[in-house]
Each structure stands twice: as structure tokens, then as C-alpha cells.
């Protein structure tokens, strides 16, 4: 039995900090209400992200899998490894979403995976259109296309106004990763 009678599609995008954080905050809130949440991270192959350990503490109601290579992806020249990892993540996302067993499915950084040409946008649109009606689907990542945003029910754009990196402050464990 699902906790939602109507699941929507949300997108968190923009060049500002907080897209994944907003999605994970939603996951925490939902688990607090007894929802089942599944998170799939695209383009994050390393085990150094703090959310991996933190969200495991919400298990079994919240599950997280991450996929990706060990290095950066470059626009226009994705490595075969990056494409294969993104395709594995997308196949897993399809399986999880279409099972209908989860109330909320978060596809973290999938918008970037589309922008970097790791996954065809049409495949993501098909998934958005064919998800079970009770599943809330959340997509995150910079560079959301107008087509993706038009299809979504809720779009939030994070806009960077100021960032410590501009003053030479590097990413800090527990804050940025």
C-alpha cells in the first residue's frame, strides 16, 4: 500500500548549492512519516560522500545506491566507463520506479547525466511519463532542459549568489561532501 495517492515529478536544478541536499531533506521528512524512499546517485562512483553513510542510518526505509566512474565527466567526450555506469544506474532506476514498491524515488544528478550525454533525455521523459501514479519522482542536477522542466510538476532552481570557493575556501568534509 502506497503512502501517496498522487505522486508528482520534482526537479531541483540550477548552479547553486543545495539540490541534492534538498532532495535528501525530503527523504528524511518522508521516512519520518513512514514512507519508503529509494535514492540512486548518478556520476558518483566514489565512497567519499557523507550522504552514503548518513542515509544508511535510515535503512531499511531509505535505500541508496550510487553509480559512476572514479573521475570527472567532460562535456562532449564522455568515457565509455561513464556511459556504462550511467546506463546501469538508469536501468536500476527503471526497475525501482516501475516496481511501484517505493513511495519516493530520488535520481540524484540524473539531470547532469542527461546534459553530459550519458543518458538520452527521451529515456528520462519516458520514465517520467510512465512512472506509477503513486510514486513521487525527484530529479536533481544542474542544467535541466526546458523540456524536462516543462514535464515536471515542481521545479526549484538553486541560484548561486555567493560561494566560499570564490574566496579560496575548498570543499569541506561534512558540508560540501
Phi–psi pair at 44, nearest 5 degrees: -135, 80
pLDDT digits (tens, 9 = 90+) for 42-80: 998 777 677 778 888 999 999 999 998 766 777 777 888
The torsion defined by the Cα of 67, 151, 20 and 99, in degrees rounded to 10, comes to -50
Domain that holds residue 105: 9-167
Per-residue confidence (pLDDT) for residue 23, from 0 to 100: 97
- Range with the lowest mean pLDDT among 13-27, 45-59, 107-121? 45-59
Q: What pLDDT is recorded for position 167?
A: 85
* Residue in this structure with the C-alpha cell 513511495, named with its chain if needed: 103
Q: What total of structural domains would you count in the chain?
A: 1
pLDDT at position 54 is 87
**DSSP assignment, residue 166?**
G
Query: Which of the 8 DSSP states describes residue 57?
Result: T
Q: Find the range with the poorest average confidence among 32-36, 114-118, 124-128, 168-172.
A: 168-172
- Reported as a pLDDT band with limits 50, 70 and 90, residue 110 is very high
**Beta carbons within 10 angstroms of residue 70's beta carbon:** 8
Contact residues for 70 (Cβ-Cβ < 8 A; gap 6+): 45, 46
Flag whether 78 is in a domain.
Answer: yes
pLDDT band at 1 (very low <50, low <70, confident <90, very high): low
Task: Give the CATH number for residue 90.
Answer: 3.40.50.300
Domain membership flag for residue 124: yes
Considering the domain boundaries, does residue 173 fall inside one? no
Question: What pLDDT is stored for residue 48 in this prediction?
Answer: 65
- What helix, strand, coil percent values describe the chain, rounded to 5? 40, 15, 45
Q: Which residue has the higher pLDDT, 46 or 17?
A: 17
Higher pLDDT, 63 or 163: 63
Per-residue cell: 48: 567519499
Average model confidence (pLDDT) across the chain:
92
Confidence of residue 21 (pLDDT cuts 50, 70, 90): very high
Instruction: Let me know if residue 52 belongs to a domain.
Output: yes
Cα→Cα distances 10→54, 72, 160, Å = 23, 26, 20
pTM, whole model, 2 decimals?
A: 0.92
Q: Could you tell me the three cell numbers for 98?
A: 516501475
Amino acid at each position: 500500500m502506497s503512502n501517496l495517492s498522487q505522486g508528482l515529478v520534482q526537479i531541483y536544478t540550477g548552479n547553486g548549492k543545495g539540490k541534492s541536499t534538498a532532495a535528501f531533506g525530503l527523504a528524511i521528512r518522508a521516512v519520518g512519516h513512514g514512507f519508503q524512499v529509494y535514492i540512486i546517485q548518478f556520476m558518483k562512483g566514489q565512497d567519499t560522500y557523507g550522504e552514503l553513510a548518513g542515509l544508511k542510518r535510515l535503512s531499511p526505509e531509505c535505500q541508496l545506491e550510487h553509480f559512476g566512474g572514479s573521475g570527472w565527466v567532460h562535456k562532449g567526450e564522455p568515457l565509455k566507463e561513464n556511459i556504462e555506469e550511467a546506463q546501469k544506474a538508469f536501468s536500476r532506476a527503471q526497475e525501482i520506479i516501475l516496481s511501484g514498491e517505493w513511495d519516493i524515488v530520488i535520481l540524484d544528478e540524473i539531470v547532469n547525466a542527461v546534459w553530459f550525454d550519458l543518458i538520452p533525455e527521451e529515456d528520462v521523459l519516458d520514465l517520467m511519463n510512465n512512472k506509477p501514479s503513486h510514486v513521487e519522482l525527484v530529479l536533481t542536477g544542474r542544467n535541466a532542459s526546458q523540456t524536462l522542466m516543462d514535464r515536471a510538476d515542481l521545479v526549484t532552481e538553486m541560484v548561486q549568489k555567493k560561494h566560499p570557493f570564490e574566496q579560496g575556501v575548498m570543499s569541506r568534509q561534512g558540508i560540501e561532501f
